[in-house]
Structure 1
Amino acid sequence: MSNFEKDYNSPASERADDHQKYAQDEEKLERNSSGSSVEGNDSPARNVHGMKWVLVVASLISATFLWGLDGTITADMQATFVRDFNSIDKLAYNSVAFFLGAAACVLTWGQIYGQFNVKWVFIVGIVLFEIGSAICGAAPNIDTLIAGRAICGVGGSGMYVGVLTLLSMTTTEKERALYMGFPGITWGIGTVLGPIIGGAFAESSATWRWGFYINLCVGGLFAPVYLFLVPSKDPRPHTDVRSRARNIDVLGFALLAGSTTSLLLAINFGGLTFDWNAPSMIALWCVAGVLFIAFCFQQAFGWLANDVVFPVAMMKNPSVLIIFFNETCSATCCFLPCYFIPLYFQYVQDESPLMAGVRLLPFIVFMVATVMVCGSIVSKFGRWLPWFFYGGAMVLTGGALMYASDENTSAAKIYGYSILIGSGTGAYIQMPFNACQEFVSPTLIPAAVGLITWAQLAAPAITLSIANAVFLNGAKEALTQILPSGLKDQALTIVSGVGKDQITRLSQQGRQDVEHAMVENIAKIYVLIMTSGALTLVLSSVLVLRLRRKDTAQ
């Protein structure tokens, strides 16, 4: 029976029509999801045990650790990239390209896993990730590095979906909850350790390139496990390749990837590469809009697709939609501090990349600890909704305090404010995966989880682009007004962290003005975090009302 909720303010005839549409959408989506996961079904006892099973699980969670690590490992490498490649205008793409590749492909990976042998699709994802890592490590210029980062995102999202799929298909229903928690924990640890490990490589004799080559080492170490021990699972045995391929929505993937790429290019090019009103910028915005509208229509009507890639029916469920936006808020609050807290310490206290990453530890420790504590409490008591309110309130408070900070704020206070954001983020970044399952039928759980996973990846791609554009454009404009005529053309170089030695040529008042301008523009990105916290509180309040209405109706 459907769990989609009705709009009780509509006339009875409209509610009946809506219910019929929802039922039709659910029925179609259930058919589309039936081969993509077995999470809602009983699984046979696993046939891998003992040390072999330990190696399999270790190999799988090592993949999610590397996936999380690569999302933030470039946070403290920015100045090094600018110094080595002398390409400031493309600085933001090192972080954005990874999430762009991941967000564009993660839903398509879900379809592929539902059609082809899970083990070999997973290995393809690993190979793509390792190829991207090799390209990044050997990159002779910034464009090659950006391409490698995008390939890492594509392959990494396939690895991540593969780990979740393999664990759900190779564990029994009783033990599944335990093992399905491991990928989230290791992903979180990798995500928050990224800036520290990246900073350490950036200033070591090994150089930043080994921040990417390390992926090849770990992949090579576990390669025998992937090839010989990971169980082979085919969701559609005895089906020919052509029939499987027809169920992949290639057009939907192309439209989604094209619209997302155009949007992020427009945000990142604006003000740095082109003027905001330049013809190239207007063209990018138009292309992004047209492709997105085409994607919406193609998904709604299923043009040229047996199974559309986006779970459209989920978007008609108001409760799932609320949870979807809550996940975008928590993902924003997870990734922005990883990039901008170290940047603050690099400018204010002239910290090295490694020490700036170490300054992120309070945020890291409290976020990971809160994820674990909240996950344990929810698994025991089953109450996930209060953590949305706790997380939203903490994030809003911490973001507001960081926004109000300046160059004279003590490090201890910055630690405290980052702890608030970290604890709040950790409280609800994984909760949407549990929450969405209460509002859909068991067979629709894979589609709902896929939607939340997409939100977790798409949100950082967009908000990091916005944050970088706000910071780089604002700081460049501010420094252009402060710097003497001989240094005005060095404004963006100073913003990147490479041209700090130029600041020593200024008077003491000039140096203070530059530092204040930098900190003031870093503070602006916390508006996104405050907005995320406030939006989480508002949406969670609406969700409470919907739950009460549902309980009253029952």
Structure 2
Amino acid sequence: MATPLARSTSTSNADLVSEFKGDDTKDSLPDLSDFPAVDAEKGSLEAPNEGSRPIPGAQYNNWQWIAVLAAIYSSAFLYGLDNTIVADIQAAAVETFGEVEKLGWLGIGFPLGSIATILSLSKAFGIFDVKWLYLGSLIMFEAGSALCGGAPSMNALIVGRVWAGAGGAGMYLGVLNLLSINTTMQKRSLYMSGCGVVWGVGCILGPAFYINLVLFAVFIPVYVFVLDSYQPQPNISFGEKLKHIDWVGVVLNAAVYCTFVMVFTFGGATWAWNDGRTIALFVVFGLILIAFVITQYFSFLTIPANRLFPGDFLRHRSLILLYICQACAATSLFIPIYYIPLFFQFTRGDNGVDAAVRLLPFIILTIFFTMLNGALMPKVGHYMPFFFIASVFVTIGGAVMYATVTPSTPNATIYGYSVLMAVGAGLSQQAAYSVAPAKVAPNRVPDAVGFINAAQIGAIVIALTITSTVFQNTGYRHVAAALKGLDFTSADIHAALAGAKSAVFVSAPEDVKAKVVKGIVEAISDGYILVIVAGALGLVCSLFLKRERLFMEAGAGA
């Protein structure tokens, strides 16, 4: 496995051990018993054996490595494609299937499927064969995408989205783990940023459900015959590995996110906030969350080393701060991805494809700065400035989108504001994936990757759920106020918010349509409050990151 070793420029043994441990509070030689590697039975910590691991990626020749890299990068491309596809097809989905009250589930379903399984799969990647777990996740993802492409109803489309999201989580985790296994720390940041680049290209090229099946067919020979297996625990039987899964944690983790989404998707839109069903969902969500925390804390029916959530990470300042920074980065990325096209659909009359094209400045600049981060961070050594600068740009970009945008704001101005957010999103999007593995022992790398991925996907679910709720509720009020006294139903108003060909935009007088659009734009702008909060929180957290200079161990390999 790749050795994620982070060191300061000092060469003293005390400093080397302190940096390896991620000790954030003292410079003296600490006791090695509290971090980093976990003993399988007791959860005790031990230092890794540096000399026993082969050079990462040495098993591939150049052409094999190119094929493997293209194959696993195609997974990141597909993940980006399916993350954003619904931003462009939601109006068409409502026109085809109706049931506008279920619209929020289309955007939330994919990341919900991901976050419900991400911690379970991150643990699994540290236990089972990485290649075959990755391939199984790919197949699950393709099956979900195929269901979406041929969905006969809104419910089938939602199920397909959640199914594809669960498979996509394992697929993307597989990409990150395969890159960690097969690259040296010196080169990993660049490869990780490359993952962000192809992900961004996937965002641009949606919507196209069936392209997934074509790419899978192209690369299946590489997955099966070229990609090497990697067993994190080669001396343990399959049955014993199953016993290492925290099954109680698996169920409760999925239930926490499902009930959270149900509360904010049904609340206010399908059921009133004071409806007994909404209140009951709040209570159930709270009870499940408490149960998850308690069972994880006491390692119920498992041992500390195997519990689903890596609770020992919460004792280390850097890992906590990286988690928060990654969540802020994901929030700053996905809210613009969903709501910039929506703005152009309502104010310029764009269809889904045209609205997606309007997103190009944001996506292209995000890709550029993601790649720039991957190239510069290993050379600069320090990672804290990247998070700080990123947060400044996100905060400014979110603020101007919230405070100054109206239906008549020129296109060029919107593009300029989106560039500000793109700089911030790009500089911070993949950075934590390179830094977090350097803070843990090699056998904890899957946990570290899953920890950061949980921050990313969890933030997407929370951000899209909250902004969707805000948009549906405040947008409904604005549109209802604009249509007061006219003969439009509640269903007409909800359909108008979906961007569908609602009766509102067909038969309402022009001056009323203008008021409706103004109200919808105000509701869209309210979503950028969360971007401002994410930028400000990321800024504060970046100030507490260590001012350490990391450099990557030189060495041969992929």
Q: Which residue of 2 aligns with 1:425?
A: 425
C-alpha distance in 2, partners of 1:439/1:215? Answer: 35
What amino acid sits opposite 1:279 in the alignment? G
CA positional deviation for 1:149:
0.7
CA 51–249 in structure 1, closer or farther in 2 if over 3 Å, else same: same
Matching residue of 1:478: 478
The separation in 2 between residues aligned to 1:472 and 1:43, in whole angstroms, is: 54
Residue of structure 1 equivalent to 2:295:
298
Shift of 1:165: 2.3
Find 2:103's aligned residue among 85, 91, 95.
91
Q: CA deviation at 1:399?
A: 0.8
Please give the per-residue CA displacement for 1:81-110, whole angstroms capped at 9, x wherever unaligned.
Answer: 101110111101111111011112122112
Q: 1:347 to 1:41 in 2, by over 3 A?
A: farther
Match in the other structure for 1:43 = 54
C-alpha displacement of 1:173: 6.3
Q: Number of aligned residue pairs: give it.
A: 521
Distance 1:63 1:34, change over 3 A: farther
Match of 1:414 in 2: 414
Cα distance, 1:246–1:485 mapped onto 2, change above 3 Å: same
Post-superposition CA distance 1:127-166 (Å, at most 9, x none): 1001101111111111111111111111111111112223
Residue aligning to 2:65: 53
Indicate the residue corresponding to 2:4 in structure 1. Answer: none
CA distance in 2, matches of 1:497, 1:38: 58
State the partner residue of 1:551: none
Residues 370, 472 of structure 1: alpha-carbon distance in 2 compared, 3 angstrom cutoff: same
> Quick one: distance in 1 between partners of 2:146 and 2:60?
32
Residue identity matched to 2:406: D
8 Å contact kept, 2:37–2:443: no
Judge conservation of contact 1:29–1:311 (CA < 8 Å) in 2: no
Q: Superposition pairs for residues 124-523 of structure 1, below 5 Å?
A: 124-171=136-183, 176=188, 178-190=190-202, 192-193=203-204, 196-198=205-207, 211-306=208-303, 307-404=306-403, 405-437=405-437, 439-441=439-441, 443-483=443-483, 484-489=485-490, 490-500=492-502, 502-523=504-525
- The 10-residue stretch of structure 1 (357-366 or 158-167) with the greater mean CA deviation from structure 2: 158-167
1:527 aligns with 2:539: no
In structure 2, what is the Cα distance between the partners aligned to 1:33 and 1:415?
52
1:117 aligns with 2:129: yes
Q: 1:178 & 1:355 partners in 2: Cα distance?
A: 32
Q: 8 Å contact 2:246–2:302 — kept in the other structure? A: yes
Comparing 324-333 with 26-35, which one deviates more in the overlay?
Answer: 26-35
Distance change in 2, residues 1:178/1:502 (3 Å) = closer
For structure 2, the 5+ residue unaligned runs are: 1-16, 550-558
- Secondary structure at the aligned position of 2:87 is classed as coil
Are the aligned partners of 1:46 and 1:171 in contact in 2 as well (CA < 8 Å)?
A: no
Deviation of 1:473 after TM superposition, in Å, equals 1.2
Are the counterparts in 1 of residues 129 and 231 from structure 2 also a CA contact under 8 Å?
A: yes
User: What CA RMSD, in Å, does the superposition of the two structures yield over aligned residues?
Assistant: 2.7
C-alpha separation in 1, matches of 2:189 and 2:477? 51
For structure 1, the residue ranges without an aligned partner over 5 or more in a row are 9-18, 199-210, 549-554
Instruction: Quote how far apart the aligned CAs of 1:120 are.
Output: 1.5
**CA deviation vs aligned residue, 1:376-414 (integer Å, no higher than 9, x gap):** 111212121111221111111111111121112111111
Q: Identity, % of aligned pairs? A: 35
- Do the aligned residues in 2 keep the contact of 1:333 with 1:529 (CA within 8 Å)? yes
Assess, with a 3 A threshold, how the Cα gap between structure 1 residues 433 and 226 changes in structure 2: closer, same or farther: closer
Q: SS in structure 1 opposite 2:86?
A: coil
What displacement does 1:341 show? Answer: 0.3
User: Separation in 1 of the partners of 2:407 and 2:488?
Assistant: 23
CA contact (8 A) 2:382 2:548 kept: no
Q: Compute the displacement of 1:232 (Å).
A: 2.0
Deviation sequence 1:164-217 (CA, Å, 0-9, x none): 223333456666555444323322332x31xx532xxxxxxxxxxxx2121111
1:197 corresponds to which letter in structure 2? G
How far the C-alpha of 1:67 sits from its partner, in A, is: 1.1
Q: Are the aligned partners of 1:274 and 1:281 in contact in 2 as well (CA < 8 Å)?
A: yes
- Decide whether aligned partners of structure 1 residues 33 and 226 sit closer, same or farther in structure 2, where only a CA change above 3 A counts: farther
Distance 1:69 1:120, change over 3 A: same
After superposition, the Cα gap between the structure-2 partners of 1:41 and 1:62, relative to the gap in structure 1 and judged at 3 Å, is farther
**Secondary structure at 1:378's aligned position in 2?**
helix
Distance in structure 2 (CA, Å) of the matches to 1:491 and 1:452: 39
> Greater CA deviation, 364-373 or 445-454?
445-454
Tell me how far 1:345 sits from its aligned partner.
Answer: 0.6
Q: 1:436–1:55: structure 2 CA closer, same or farther, 3 Å change rule?
A: closer
Q: Is the 8 A contact 2:177 2:449 kept in 1?
A: no
CA distance in 2, matches of 1:499, 1:470: 22
SS in 1 for 2:327: helix
* Cα distance between partner residues in 2 of 1:113 and 1:40: 23
What's the CA shift string for 1:475-516, capped at 9, x where partnerless?
Answer: 112212221431143111111111355334333321221111
Contact 1:119 1:232 in 2 (8 A): yes
**Alpha-carbon displacement from aligned partner over 1:317-348 (angstroms, at most 9, x marks no partner):** 12321221111111001111111000001111
Q: 1:29 offset after TM fit, Å? A: 6.9
TM-score (norm 2): 0.87
Residues 325 and 30 from structure 1, CA distance in 2 versus in 1: closer, same or farther, beyond 3 angstroms?
farther
Which structure features the higher share of helix residues? 1
Higher relative contact order (CA 8 A, sep 6+): 2
TM-score (normalizing by structure 1):
0.88
Q: Relative to structure 1, is the Cα distance of residues 33 and 429 closer, same or farther in structure 2, using a 3 angstrom cutoff?
A: farther
CA contact (8 A) 2:310 2:447 kept: yes
Shift of 1:428: 1.1
